[in-house]
């Protein structure tokens, strides 16, 4: 259908609705509210006002209609107009079975739109919607199943990570090195503006290592050459960092905008690794040998989860290559925020430390626009798969996932659930489970081929060179070290051969 083509479907409301294509996965709604509906709503609003208004010399509910109109007519008409527009839009969306992915944008006619008694009111809105498409056959899809052994080397790497996480922090003044934690006050200012739009105290910056190319995150943004800007500093210094807002950032007002971050360095600390016996004691274990055994069990558990996650992502990736549909031209800020929140929950579920979570989120924000649109396509595809397989998520599954995340953060499940509910993020837990279940249904129906860890790592490298990875990967960093304020972490390890997934704490 061309952008100029219009459709008007039967409606049960009294409004007239015309729907036109306004671009890829974008609709223009032109809605006409009849005069009688406007008169009825105005009368209702005035009746409510009359019953609530008290003016000197008149009893409540007995203020003359003309006086009410003279005193409050303009504000009543404005409020009534907004109520009618919101109601008409919601009704049109429901009756025409549209699925918006963002907030509607008002048409030019909305700037001068006035509500007048006895006259119909016509206005237009544009909104991005979920694309419509058919799923391809699954019999051509083949996924690789990485077979990974838990070696003594990997156990040793994880033990080293745990030693850092449970180490003792000491204050330092200068001579910083990789993994040191710098704390202070930060502001962010947009180009051509004098006042910061963002201020935050107690900002923590981890000095990145040379292996990372000196690249690290500050306030959720990946900064190139961060190491060189921090390594020779001392307490009391003010550090100015110039960057550009990523094109796939969830805040659309900073995408592509030059930003200046000013960081006042107020404190710094370095973590000395804990002895293995101390780490064992943290988990209620008697000695290092038993700790290594438990780490191995946790790694085996994670390997199985990572293996399943790798196959799910491969299946979705291949499906995405087989199906074509138009994506919304604009990256919805709401959708970007939703993706990041789901990724945050996924990382917490896998047992990532707070520093690891923030770094991975910053890396995701800095992805190219093409990568962001690839993720958006996967989002729509997973949504369609969930509908196709009639995937449902029970309250028990949501509570179970919350309990696992809470265990990784060492908080009570009910406290975490309340926190997620109050911040409006509880639905993301259900969506994360839904997406996993939908992708798993695909994996169950496609061909699976076992490959070695070496073959899988080669595949990961090739995918990265091509701009895509078959699954999310992580790496061991000294920044896994914790300060006294960090929450304890469970025995966990990063798999070099497979993407990271959840950790099980076993005793």
Residues 296 and 252 in one domain: no
27, 99 in Cβ contact below 8 A?
no
Name the domain count of the chain.
3
260: left (phi over 0), alpha (psi -120 to 50) or beta: beta
pLDDT of 2? 40
Strand blocks (E) in 285-388: none
Burial class from Cβ neighbours inside 10 Å (0-12, 13-18, 19+) for residue 238 reads exposed
CA–CA dist 307, 444 (Å, integer): 14
Predicted local confidence at residue 501, as pLDDT? 36
- For 149-195, write each residue's pLDDT tens digit: 999 999 999 999 999 989 999 999 999 999 999 999 999 999 989 99
Full residue range of the structural domain in which residue 263 is found = 168-272
Exposed (0-12), middle (13-18) or buried (19+): which is 390, by Cβ within 10 Å?
exposed
For residue 173, the domain's CATH number is 3.10.50.40
On whether both 305 and 233 belong to a single domain, the answer is no
Which residues of the chain have a pLDDT value below 70? 1-13, 52-54, 57, 59, 61-63, 68, 331-334, 465-507
Q: Is residue 306 part of a domain?
A: yes
Q: Does residue 304 share a domain with residue 207?
A: no
Q: In this structure, are 260 and 316 located in the same domain? A: no
CB within 8 Å of 74: residues ≥ 6 apart: none
CATH, residue 319: 1.10.3120
Instruction: State residue 471's pLDDT score.
Output: 46
pLDDT, residue 342, reads 83
Q: Which of 128, 158, 186 is the last residue of a domain?
A: 128
- Asked if residue 455 belongs to a domain, the reply is yes
Beta carbons within 10 angstroms of residue 381's beta carbon: 24
Classify burial at 289, counting beta carbons within 10 Å of its beta carbon; exposed 0-12, middle 13-18, buried 19 or more. exposed
The neighbouring-strand residues paired with 6 are 20
Q: Is the residue at 1 inside a domain?
A: no
pTM beyond 0.85, yes or no:
no
- For residue 5, which phi and psi values (nearest 5 degrees)? -75, 135
What local confidence, expressed as pLDDT, does residue 296 receive? Answer: 95
Burial bucket for residue 385 (CB in 10 Å: 0-12, 13-18, 19+): buried
**For residue 466, what pLDDT is reported?**
64
Give the integer Cα–Cα distance in Å for 105 and 245: 23
Q: Report residue 352: phi and psi, to 5°.
A: -70, 150
Residue 239 shares a structural domain with residue 297: no
Structure tokens at 346: 């996924």
């Amino acid at each position: 259908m061309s952008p100029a083509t219009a459709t008007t479907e039967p409606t049960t409301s009294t409004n007239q609705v015309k729907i036109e294509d306004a671009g890829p996965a974008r609709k223009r709604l032109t809605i006409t509210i009849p005069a009688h509906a406007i008169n009825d709503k105005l009368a209702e609003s005035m009746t409510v006002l009359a019953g609530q208004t008290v003016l000197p010399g008149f009893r409540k509910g007995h203020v003359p209609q003309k006086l009410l109109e003279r005193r409050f007519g303009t504000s009543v008409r404005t409020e009534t107009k907004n109520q009618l527009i919101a109601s008409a839009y919601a009704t049109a969306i429901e009756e025409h079975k549209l699925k918006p992915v963002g907030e509607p944008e008002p048409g030019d006619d909305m700037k001068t739109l006035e509500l007048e008694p006895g006259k119909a009111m016509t206005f237009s809105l544009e909104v991005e919607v979920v694309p419509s498409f058919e799923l391809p056959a699954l019999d051509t899809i083949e996924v690789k199943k990485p077979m990974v052994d838990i070696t003594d080397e990997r156990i040793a790497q994880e033990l080293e990570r745990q030693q850092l996480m449970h180490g003792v922090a000491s204050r330092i003044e200068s001579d910083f090195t990789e993994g040191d934690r710098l704390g202070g006050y930060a502001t962010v200012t947009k180009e051509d503006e004098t006042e910061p739009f963002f201020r935050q105290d107690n900002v923590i910056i981890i000095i990145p290592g040379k292996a990372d190319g000196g690249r690290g995150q500050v306030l959720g943004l990946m900064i190139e050459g961060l190491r060189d800007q921090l390594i020779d500093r001392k307490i009391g210094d003010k550090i100015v960092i110039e960057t550009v807002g990523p094109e796939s950032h969830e805040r659309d007002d900073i995408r592509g905008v030059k930003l200046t971050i000013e960081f006042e360095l107020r404190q710094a600390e370095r973590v000395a690794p804990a002895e293995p016996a101390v780490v064992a004691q943290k988990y209620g274990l008697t000695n290092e040998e038993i700790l290594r055994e438990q780490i191995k069990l946790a790694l085996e558990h994670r390997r199985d989860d990572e293996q399943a996650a790798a196959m799910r992502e491969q299946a979705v990736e291949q499906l995405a290559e087989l199906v074509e549909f138009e994506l919304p031209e604009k990256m919805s800020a709401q959708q970007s925020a939703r993706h990041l929140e789901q990724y945050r929950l996924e990382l917490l579920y896998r047992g990532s430390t707070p520093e690891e979570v923030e770094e991975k989120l910053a890396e995701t924000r800095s992805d190219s626009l093409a990568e962001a649109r690839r993720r958006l396509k996967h989002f729509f595809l997973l949504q369609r798969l969930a509908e196709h397989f009639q995937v449902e998520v029970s309250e028990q599954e949501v509570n179970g996932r919350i309990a696992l995340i809470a265990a990784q953060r060492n908080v009570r499940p009910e406290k975490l659930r309340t926190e997620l509910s109050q911040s409006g993020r509880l639905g993301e837990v259900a969506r994360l489970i839904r997406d996993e279940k939908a992708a798993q249904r695909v994996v169950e129906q496609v061909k699976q081929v076992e490959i070695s860890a070496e073959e899988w790592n080669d595949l990961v490298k090739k995918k990265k060179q091509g701009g895509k990875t078959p699954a999310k990967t992580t790496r061991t960093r000294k920044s896994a070290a914790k300060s006294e304020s960090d929450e304890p972490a469970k025995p966990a390890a990063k798999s070099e051969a497979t993407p990271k997934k959840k950790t099980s704490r076993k005793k």
